[in-house]
């Protein structure tokens, strides 16, 4: 559903610059956020929060423009904010309200009548598995429950775009998995565009389709997770149980480099030739190993970003030396 503007791309930034005094916070940022889940990552002070505020039309730009489904937030702020739901990192709950009242209040702010706002509040809280805790005062709720309420408040008006700032902060492992599952469901089942600003790279690698790295106000890396973490050659991960040490030795004897994965339960191997796949499965059977998956090995996203950060540091240092020469 893309009615508001001519441009069907959810979010587009072209040459965006933002200054606070003499400090350049966003430096000619050009970025497209397509449907699906996009991760926005970068060190503290990289400009991530300012970029989100630019999308929402909350800052005046020094140059460039932002479009949200073809609309300019600076020209049509109310329309744009109707299209977006936001889960901020800081607690924005109102003491004295219950969880359901907080979500109903958010629905009323979006223009829904009181009865419909209450119905929608219960509907999204049910979807978030809020239970009876929704009737307690927000100030008494656990971190995980407050996050459910904030998330429900962000999506109660059925926005086309949802932006979340550190959505898994303070969540226990079960709550974290549930939150990530809801984001995937919103994108896959309900066609929403999700932008996640986070420092947790494993969350990005586990659910995001695309990722953007922002360093000192500049986009240093942007692309699909599959492209950025994929290997250029035939590095594979064989997921299996049984005598994996024996399998590694047998593969080595067949000229196929292999080693045990650090995490256990898998063998990492390099199949240089297509014929190596046949040999792998032959040796799996002979070693008495039970295997259930042979898949491309992917680089950890952390390694990709550390390399990009190093390249950014070197490029900026070189630029600085040229400027002072």
Q: What's the pLDDT tens digit per position in 125-153?
A: 999 999 999 999 999 999 899 999 999 99
Helix pair angle (143-155, 99-109), 10° resolution = 20
Q: How many CB atoms lie within 10 A of CB 76?
A: 17
Convert the pLDDT of each residue in 28-52 to its tens digit: 999 999 999 999 999 988 999 999 9
Average pLDDT, integer, range 251-276: 88
Average pLDDT, integer, range 49-56: 94
* Residue 231's pLDDT band (cuts 50, 70, 90): low
pLDDT score at 302: 87
* Residue 3's pLDDT band (cuts 50, 70, 90): low
Is the Cα torsion angle 41, 43, 49, 54 positive or negative in sign? negative
Stronger pLDDT, 281 or 273, i.e. the higher one? 281
Q: What separation, in Å, do the N-terminal and C-terminal C-alpha atoms of the chain show?
A: 53
Question: DSSP characters for 131-191?
Answer: GGGGGSBGGGS-HHHHHHHHHHHHHTT--SEEEEESTTTT--HHHHHHHHHHHHHHHHHH-
Average of per-residue pLDDT values in the chain? 90
Convert the pLDDT of each residue in 83-120 to its tens digit: 999 999 888 889 999 999 999 999 999 999 999 999 99
Stronger pLDDT, 318 or 201, i.e. the higher one? 201
* Residue 250's pLDDT band (cuts 50, 70, 90): very high
Q: How far apart, in whole angstroms, are the C-alpha atoms of residue 65 and residue 13?
A: 6
Contact at 8 Å (CB) between 251 and 294? Answer: no
DSSP code for 261 = -
In this predicted structure, the answer to whether residue 17 has a pLDDT above a threshold of 90 is: yes
Which domains are seen in the chain, by residue range?
A: 11-228 (3.40.50.300), 231-296 (3.30.70.100)
Residue among 126, 132, 123, 164 nearest 147 (CA)? 164
Q: How far apart, in whole angstroms, are the C-alpha atoms of residue 270 and residue 94?
A: 56
Residue among 103, 198, 210 nearest 146 (CA)? 103
DSSP code for 90 = S
- pTM to 2 decimal places: 0.80
């Amino acid at each position: 559903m893309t009615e508001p503007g001519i441009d069907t791309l959810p979010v587009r930034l072209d040459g965006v610059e933002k200054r606070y005094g003499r400090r350049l916070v966003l430096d000619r940022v050009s970025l497209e956020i397509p449907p699906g889940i996009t991760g926005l990552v970068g060190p503290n002070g990289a400009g991530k929060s300012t970029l989100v505020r630019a999308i929402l039309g909350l800052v005046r730009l020094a140059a460039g423009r932002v479009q949200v489904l073809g609309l300019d937030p600076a020209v049509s702020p109310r329309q744009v904010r109707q299209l977006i739901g936001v889960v901020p990192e800081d607690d924005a709950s109102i003491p004295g309200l219950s969880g359901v009242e907080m979500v109903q209040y958010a629905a009323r702010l979006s223009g829904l009548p009181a009865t419909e706002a209450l119905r929608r509040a219960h509907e999204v809280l049910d979807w978030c598995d809020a239970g009876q805790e929704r009737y307690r005062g927000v100030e008494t709720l656990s971190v995980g429950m407050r996050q459910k309420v904030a998330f429900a408040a962000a999506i109660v008006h059925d926005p086309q775009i949802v932006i979340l700032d550190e959505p898994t902060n303070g969540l226990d492992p079960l709550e974290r998995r549930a939150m990530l599952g809801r984001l995937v469901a919103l994108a896959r089942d309900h066609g929403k565009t999700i932008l996640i600003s986070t420092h947790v790279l494993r969350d990005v690698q586990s659910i995001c389709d695309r990722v953007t790295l922002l360093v000192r106000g500049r986009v240093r890396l942007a692309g699909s997770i599959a492209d950025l973490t994929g290997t250029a050659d035939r590095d594979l991960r064989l997921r299996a149980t049984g005598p994996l040490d024996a399998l590694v030795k047998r593969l080595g004897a067949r000229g196929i480099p292999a080693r045990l994965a650090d995490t256990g339960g898998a063998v990492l191997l390099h199949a240089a030739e297509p014929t190596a796949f046949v040999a792998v499965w032959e040796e799996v059977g002979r070693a008495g190993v039970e295997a259930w998956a042979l898949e491309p090995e992917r680089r950890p996203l952390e390694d990709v970003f550390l390399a990009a950060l190093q390249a950014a540091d070197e490029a900026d240092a070189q630029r600085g030396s040229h400027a002072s020469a």
